[in-house]
Amino acid sequence: MIKGVLFDMDGVLVDSEEYICQAGIEMFREKGMAVTGEDFRPFTGMGEDRYLGGVAEKYGIPFDADRDKARTYDIYREIVHGKLNALPGVFDFIEKCRKLGLRMAVASSADEIKVITNLEEIGLAPSLFGVVINGQQVERKKPFPDIFLKASAQINLGPRQCLVVEDAVSGVKAAKEAGCRCLALTTSFSASELSAADWIARDLSEAPTECLKW
């Protein structure tokens, strides 16, 4: 029986992919390298170490994770200020979860600074959730299941009692590996790419009723 919901952040609660991509492109431009948005796509949902590091590896660009992520986040915060909004259905879906007595957590592969920035920008208080887990708190990022196992444990539930809401192929794989059921949103990938999920919807405004009642 469902007792908890574990939310990914980017592509689920907020669409910030465009902006982190812009920030990454600008960071690499400052290094003298021209990369494109398509270069980042294979690394979506895997955390910024891999998101940026994968592109650097592809082109043989020297990459200092701490320094280059810090610069990217500086650019990112400048870009997103006042521009981010919650995706359709987010507040209503969270209210449904609350009324059903479901425990909630955020489980994002992004670093803490990005998670907090995004939640603040869209007006979602971290206190709405039992726990907010970021990618710096797990050694193995998605598609490994570690972040969902950690999030479910910290809200005192087993993974089989939890629904994961994801938008990335790597996130769906992580959810299923953890033993959770999964609602996939087609904000970043097509329905065919997300076919391993239990339910698929365009966004949370179209989430099927049965995903919260099993």
- Out of 80, 105, 128, pick the residue that ends a domain: 80
Question: What is the pLDDT averaged over residues 114-129?
Answer: 93
Domain match, 75 and 108 both: no
Q: Can you give the pLDDT at residue 121? A: 93
- 124 has pLDDT over 90: yes
Domain match, 76 and 118 both: no
Domain match, 37 and 62 both: yes
In the structure, what pLDDT confidence band is assigned to residue 36 with cuts at 50, 70 and 90?
very high
Helix H or strand E encompassing 184:
strand 181-185
Q: Can you give the pLDDT at residue 47? A: 81
Range of the domain at 114: 4-15+85-212
Domain match, 73 and 112 both: no
Which ranges of 31-168 does DSSP label H, i.e. alpha helix?
A: 37-40, 48-59, 65-80, 90-99, 112-122, 146-154
Q: Can you give the pLDDT at residue 196? A: 98
Which CATH number does the domain housing residue 89 bear?
3.40.50.1000
Which carries the bigger pLDDT value, residue 75 or residue 110? 75
Domain match, 8 and 40 both: no
Q: Put residue 73 in one of left, alpha, beta given phi > 0 → left and psi -120 to 50 → alpha.
A: alpha
Q: Tokens standing for 2?
A: 């469902």
- Out of 80, 98, 120, pick the residue that ends a domain: 80
Under 8 Å CB-to-CB from 166, ≥6 apart: which residues?
Answer: 8, 11, 12, 45, 172, 174, 175, 182, 183, 184, 185, 194, 197
What are the φ/ψ torsions at residue 166 (nearest 5 degrees)? -135, 165
Cα 21 from chain centroid (whole Å): 14
Number of domains within the chain: 2
What is the share, in percent, of the chain residues with pLDDT greater than 70?
100
Domain match, 35 and 10 both: no
Domain match, 177 and 187 both: yes
Domain match, 139 and 150 both: yes
Domain match, 113 and 72 both: no
Spatial contact of 139 and 147, defined as CB atoms under 8 Å apart: no
Domain match, 97 and 170 both: yes
Under 8 Å CB-to-CB from 91, ≥6 apart: which residues?
Answer: none
The catalytic site residues sit at: 8, 10
Q: Can you give the pLDDT at residue 115? A: 94
- Out of 57, 80, 103, pick the residue that ends a domain: 80
- 202 has pLDDT over 90: yes
Domain match, 91 and 182 both: yes
Domain match, 52 and 146 both: no
